Amino acid sequence: MPHEIHGQLKADDGRYAIVVSRFNEFITSKLLGGAIDALVRHGCDDSTIVAVHVPGAFELPLVARKVAASGKFDAVICLGCVIRGQTPHFEYVASEAAKGIAQVADSTGVPTTFGVLTTDTLEQAVERAGAKAGNKGADAAMSAIELVSVLKQLDGVS
Ligand code: INI
């Protein structure tokens, strides 16, 4: 019989950091609220959560790397919002954020999740920040909780 590992959605014994960008703060504050709410509803003591604010999505990887490499956190949740209509360099900002965040997880081994909205319009961003398409900050927090549990279980596999 296979030994299957499924992440448990319990956040009571993990230490979580959130790195969130100020650009499009109207949206990213909703992502931050969603992420904190998801962590707390799954048992995390909110006084243990550290939220680090950075200027824009482009800056998320640098700070996420420092946080992940500190050894103080079980997971890092990255939150931001890049809207195509607002900038001709949408592709650069969005792709550097995505690539950089993936590299942080790869190089540190610390689950580092991607809660960065990349949308064509502000309306689409609103929909993903607590309106009809859910809250992607909460989704990124849930992924972090699950990964922490999966990695802990893998540590126990002989
Ligand atoms: N940063 C974002 O997080 N979202 C955006 O939509 C955005 N736009 O439109 O340009 C954006 N730009 C700033 C960028 O992330 C950096 O903070 C800036 O280039 C300084 O390095």
Indicate which CATH number applies to the domain containing 70. Answer: 3.40.50.960
In the chain, the amino acid numbered 62 is: L
52 within some domain: no
Tell me if 129 sits within 8 A of 80, measured CB to CB: no
pLDDT band at 130 (very low <50, low <70, confident <90, very high): very high
In the chain, the amino acid numbered 57 is: A
Of the listed 3, 6, 53, 89, which one is catalytic?
Answer: 89
154 within some domain: no
Note the pLDDT of residue 89: 84
For residue 24, the enclosing domain spans 16-45+57-148
Which residue is associated with the tokens 């890092």? 76
Note the pLDDT of residue 24: 97
> What pTM was estimated for this model as a whole?
0.97
Tell me if 128 sits within 8 A of 117, measured CB to CB: yes
5 within some domain: no
Q: How far apart are CA 107 and CA 127, in angstroms?
A: 33
* Mutation to probe ligand 1, out of 20, 31, 58, 117 (largest number of atoms < 8 A from CB): 58
For helices 60-69 and 90-108, the axis angle rounded to 10 degrees is 10
57 pLDDT more than 80 = yes
Percent of the chain surpassing pLDDT 90: 91
Residues with CB under 6 A from ligand 1: 21, 23-24, 55-59, 80-83, 86-87, 93
156 within some domain: no
What is the total count of domains within the chain? Answer: 1
50 within some domain: no
Ligand 1 center to 155 CA (angstroms)? 38
pLDDT band at 156 (very low <50, low <70, confident <90, very high): confident
